[in-house]
Structure formats: C-alpha cells, structure tokens
Structure 1
Amino acid sequence: MSAPAKDIQTTVDGEFVKPPLGKRLVGANTFWISLVLVALIAVFTVLAPGQFATVFTFQMLLNETSVLLVLSVGMTFVIITSGIDLSVGSVLIFAGMVAGKTMEALSGGDASHAGWGVITAGLVAAVLAGTLWGLINGFLIAVAGIPPLIVTLGTMGAALGVAYLLNNGSDVHSVPTELNKVLGYGTSFGGIPNLVLVAVVITLIGAWLLHTTRFGRYTFAVGSNAEAARRSGIGVTAHLLKVYLLTGFLAGLAGFLSLAFYTSTTISAHATDNLNSISATVMGGTSLFGGVGSMLGTVIGVFIPAVLKKGFNITHVQDYWQQIAVGAVLIAAVWFDQRQRRKRNSR
C-alpha cells in the first residue's frame, strides 16, 4: 500500500483492473530513484574501477550507512503519517550517552574490558532512553495536539542538552572492546559486517510491519486522511503515539550501534543525522504529504548520498559537490512527488 488505490487501478465495464506492470513501474517513485542509484554506481565504477568497485569499498559503504538506515526506518513510518521527527539525531546521541554511562557505572568507571552482561545492560538502557523520548514526542503530538515540527524541534534541543549534561559536554570514550570487536567491525556469513546484518534485520522487520500488517495499513490510512481514518474506526491518537514510540526505540538502538562502531558517542558526527534521515526517506519516494512510501525506497534513498560521498572521495572531488548533488536529487524527488500528486488529484 505505497499509493492510493486509484493510482494503480482503472475502470473497465464497471470493474477495477490494474494497468500493465510496466506502466505501474514507470509511475513509481522507487523505480526512478533506483535508476539514479544504479547510474551513480556505474559512473563511479567506470571512473575508478580498481578503487570503487571493490569488496572493501562496499563493506565500508554498508557499515557507514547501517546506523542511518536504522534511523530512516523509523522516519519512514513518521513521514507516511504526514509527520516529521527532527529529534532523532539528538535522541541517538542521548541514547548512546546513556548506554556509555551505564556501562561505565557497571564497570567501575572503565568499561573497556566489560563483558556481555554489562553490554546487554547498555543496550537496554539505550533503547529505553530512545523510547522515552519517543513517548514524549508522541504524547505532545498525538494527545496534546502540538504540530510535529514544533514538538520535535523542541525535543531535538532538549535531548541534545541533556546528553551534554550527562558527561559535562564531552564524549564517552570508555566502550567495551568486545562490543566493537563483535558488533562494530565483526563479520559473518562470508565477510558481511555484523552491523550490516543488524540493520538488514531491522529493515526487513520494518518492511514487514509497514507492508503486511494492520499497523502498516493504519499508518498509510492516517497519512492519507486522518479524519477519514478516525471515522472508519482507527484510533488515530493511539496509532500516532505508537509510531513515535517506534521511532524513538529505533533511534535508541541506532545510538547503541553507533557506540559499537565508533567506540565513542561522537556527538559532533551526528549533528545532521536528523536531516540525513529525512532526506534519505524523501529521496526514496516517501511523500512529505503523507500516505505514500515504501521501505525499499528508503533503503535506496539512504545509499544515494553514501555512494556520492564515497565516489567523490575516491575520485578526489571536493565534498561540497556532494552536498550540491544530494540537494539536487532531493529537490527532484519532491518535485516528482508533487507532480504525481497533482496527477492523482486531477483524476
């Protein structure tokens, strides 16, 4: 259910029939954005075949996008409901800080040699911390009726401020070596990074939840028309609360994964994670107007900036061009979405 039914059906003798597969593919945002990704990979492979098209490059590419992908899974649900969450980057930092401080406290101040009992406690602390901020966002948006932009703009600053207070404005560097060894840079199944496997599992669960369950159907319904969804018996308030809880939970998990990968809370490295996850989700075809989106599109949207950055670095192109290219793709994706929306409304 990535688009309203009238987008994919026409009437013939009073009966609804689907148009040809080719026509549906060409009309899908995901199709066009996937072509952009394939074109980028092809261009950089031609420009630097011995450097870009290597197993090591793609391993690093997958590792570097895993945390952002987990964030973007939650963002997909939020934007499909016609909402927004500017706080996910700060919640990620806060959750990582809580996990780091928890593991330090349980290890007597130095968690570098901590075992899996302490690591598990850090994971639980991270997801609870993220879920708490998701609950705050959900309550203020769904129950109090405050616009998502205002709520999450406020909690973005609040979560970051509390994270700074927890460690007097500095990063936590005492992270279990075993955590980094196994989850940060460990590999399984023929060299696939464990961090990537976790992100893949989370994404598959998100796709299953969005596209095959009642929760996913309600998400699309609320985003398409909240009032119509309410009149059809959907508990819109409760559903929005659950969506923001899910997003907070995933931001907390992403904070723990980041801690495992970087062996530090790396506050400065996550300053734009909120905007990056929004950009990736929108570039993947999820409509800012709500009611339209797919998890596959989000995956593609996450990889476009990553491929651009990696390709530009390998071909020695200034990073500024990457920002320009990503901005152009983002604007084009929104333009295409608006164009498709006008077509639907004119029928």
Structure 2
Amino acid sequence: MSNATKTGGGFALSAIAPANASLHRLSALLTLFLLVLGFAATSPAFFTVNNGLTILLQTSVVGLLGIGMTMVIVTGGIDLSVGSVLALSGVVSAMAVKAGLPVLPAMSMGILAGAICGAFNGLVITKLRIPPFVATLGMMLIARGIALQLTGAIPISGLGDAFGALGNGALFRMVELRPNGFPNVVFPGVPYPAILLLVVALAAAYLLKKRQIGRHIFATGSNEEAARLSGVRVDRTKLYAYVMSGALAGLAGNVLMSRLVTAQPSEGVMYELDAIAAAVIGGASLSGGVGTISGTMIGAFIIGILRNGLNMAGVSAFIQQIVIGFVVIGAVWIDQIRNRP
C-alpha cells in the first residue's frame, strides 16, 4: 500500500511527510551524537585522528551502497544483491588489471558490471513483474556465483600499488623523513574514499531534489498508479534506480578491493543489510516515497561508528552481528510505526 493511499491523499502526504522526515533525521542525528559520546567515554582512543580516519574508510563503502539503496527504496523496491554485486564488480576490475588494462579503465569495467547487474534487476522487475525481493535475491546468488566461478573462489592478488591508490590514498597527506631515513606521517590527509563518498552524496542529493528523474522516483514510490496517470514512465524510473544501485555497488566494490589491494570474491556478505539499515535509520520508508541522502549518510555513520566502537570495546564479530540485527529490526519497526494511519 502506498503512502498516499494510507494518508487518504497526496495532499495530506505532502504536508505531513516533510515534517516526519525532518523529525526522523533529527532523531537519527541525536542517536549518532549519543553513540559518539558513549564510545568516547569508554575508550580514550576513540577520538584519535587515526580512529576517525578508520571510521571514514569503513563508512565509505556502506555509504555508497546506502545511496543506491535509498533510490531503490524510495521507488518502493528493495535491492538484496548489492553485496554480491560489490564482490563481482571488484573481481571484474581486478581481472581487467591482470589482463593488462590501466587501473582507471579497469575500474570503469567493474562499475559497468555493477550497472549491468542493476539493469538486469530492473528489467526482471518491470518486464517480468517479479517482486523486487525475489528478483534481487536471485541476482544476489547469480552475482556471487559468477564471482566465485571466475576466480575459482581464490582471491586475486598482485594488483600493484596503482590499484590500491583509490582505497589507501589521501588528499593533503604530509610525510617527512626522519634523520634515520624512516618516514614520519605529519598529517594523514583526507582519505580518497571519504572524498568520493561526499561527491557522490552531493550529486545524488541534487539529482533527487532538483532533477526531474528525482521527482519521478518519489512520485513512483508515493503512488505508482497516480504517477503513471500523470505521465511518469514508471518502468523506466524503476530501471534507472536499480541501475544506479548496481553502479554504486560496483563503485563500492572498487573502493573495498582497492583498500585490500586484493579482489576477494567472498567479500560483501551481508553488506546489503548495512545498506538497508543505513537508509531506513536515516528516514527512508520501506513503503516508498520517503527518503533523503543526508539521512542515509547519518544512518551510514551510525552503522560505522557502532561497528567501530564495538570493535574497540573488544566485542566479538558474532555479537556485533546480533547488535546490528537488532538495529535493523528496530529501524524497520520505527518505520512501520511512522507509516501507521
């Protein structure tokens, strides 16, 4: 059921939704602030520069996936394949480098592979009328299977320093040589993945707020039939959202594999849940028609800081999965309460 139907009309939705979205975003921002204070109180190393850079690097991948997921969720869909597409895209980029292609064209091929996976999702959903949950679940298995088949389930290593520049490089990094000849990092700089995330987030926010395709995405998610009767090409709009989600998963795959300087076909498992959680925590509604990029960024940092703080507290990875699972359930529960008539 669409948001417009539940509120009894589009006019009621347009009046209520912005206030609800702003309130939800403020509550997410308050949660983020409380998490920072809590972890800073339990660990003096939390506020160090190095830990801050670690959080930025960890959040960049979830943030990129979350931006694409937000576009899909706003249309009223879901994309469960982004973790597997991330792995496949990274493998494609690494194989292209191994084949002798320069790093930039090779990574472009990885992004293209992600976009193709997204296009497949969009076409299956719009042309075959298969529900997004089932269609993207199928792509999750397909993409993971292709990645494992291409590599024989063996990581691709020996990709060179140039391949690792995107994930490990930083802007304004300052290094000086000590008298003994060893380097000393004066300022670690701003990581390239964090800059990339900022650029992509600003571009996506502009697209959703200022461009026609953004208005069509919101219209499709709010009331698909009304959008179709208003002249919106609903199928093409959905296809665009899924292609963007796939392409951004491909970009996230390049960032992650570049950080590792190794293409791991088994990477990205359960990343789709982090992306969904980031979008929903930030105010996106699983019913469609509601969501912002700024809210998703807040949600991504909540996930990133939560994982980082639990790591520093010595909490095992298994317990972290339990905590994140409860966070996902809680975020969806809040979304359901928000959308009740």
1:84 aligns with 2:78: yes
Using structure 2 for the length normalisation, give the TM-score. Answer: 0.87
Match of 1:32 among 22, 27, 33: 27
1:150 corresponds to: 134
Q: What amino acid is the match of 2:151?
A: N
2:177 corresponds to: none
Alpha-carbon distance, 1:324 to partner: 3.6
Stretches of 4+ moved more than 4 A in 1?
A: 2-5
8 Å contact from structure 1 (residues 134, 249) kept in 2:
yes
Match of 1:187 among 170, 184, 188: 170
Count residues in correspondence. Answer: 319
8 Å contact from structure 1 (residues 309, 319) kept in 2:
no
Q: Deviations over 1:219-255 (max 9, x none)?
A: 1110111111001110001111111111111111111
Match of 1:176 among 160, 165, 174: 160
Report SS of the residue matched to 1:269: coil
Using structure 1 for the length normalisation, give the TM-score. Answer: 0.86
Match of 2:122 among 133, 138, 144: 138
- Matched residues in 2 for 1:97 and 1:195: separation? 19
User: Which runs of 5 or more residues in structure 2 are unaligned?
Assistant: 5-9, 174-188
Alpha-carbon distance, 1:133 to partner: 0.8
CA RMSD of aligned residues (A): 2.2
- Matched residues in 2 for 1:304 and 1:125: separation? 31
Q: What amino acid is the match of 2:167?
A: G
Q: Deviations over 1:151-188 (max 9, x none)?
A: 111111111111111121211112221231x3222111
User: Which runs of 5 or more residues in structure 1 are unaligned?
Assistant: 11-17, 108-117
Match of 2:264 among 243, 249, 266: 266
2:246 corresponds to: 248
8 Å contact from structure 1 (residues 305, 322) kept in 2:
no
Residues 321 and 234 of structure 1: is their aligned pair in 2 closer, same or farther, counting only changes over 3 Å? same
8 Å contact from structure 1 (residues 280, 298) kept in 2:
yes
1:331 corresponds to: 329
Residues 274 and 26 of structure 1: is their aligned pair in 2 closer, same or farther, counting only changes over 3 Å? closer
- Matched residues in 1 for 2:289 and 2:13: separation? 12
- Matched residues in 2 for 1:194 and 1:96: separation? 17
8 Å contact from structure 1 (residues 25, 31) kept in 2:
no
8 Å contact from structure 2 (residues 70, 284) kept in 1:
yes
2:237 corresponds to: 239
Alpha-carbon distance, 1:68 to partner: 1.7
8 Å contact from structure 1 (residues 134, 248) kept in 2:
yes
- Matched residues in 1 for 2:259 and 2:22: separation? 39
8 Å contact from structure 2 (residues 284, 290) kept in 1:
yes
1:96 aligns with 2:102: no
- Matched residues in 2 for 1:331 and 1:30: separation? 18
Report SS of the residue matched to 2:162: helix
Between the aligned residues of both structures, percent identity stands at 37
1:53 corresponds to: 47
8 Å contact from structure 1 (residues 85, 148) kept in 2:
yes
Match of 2:12 among 6, 11, 35: 6
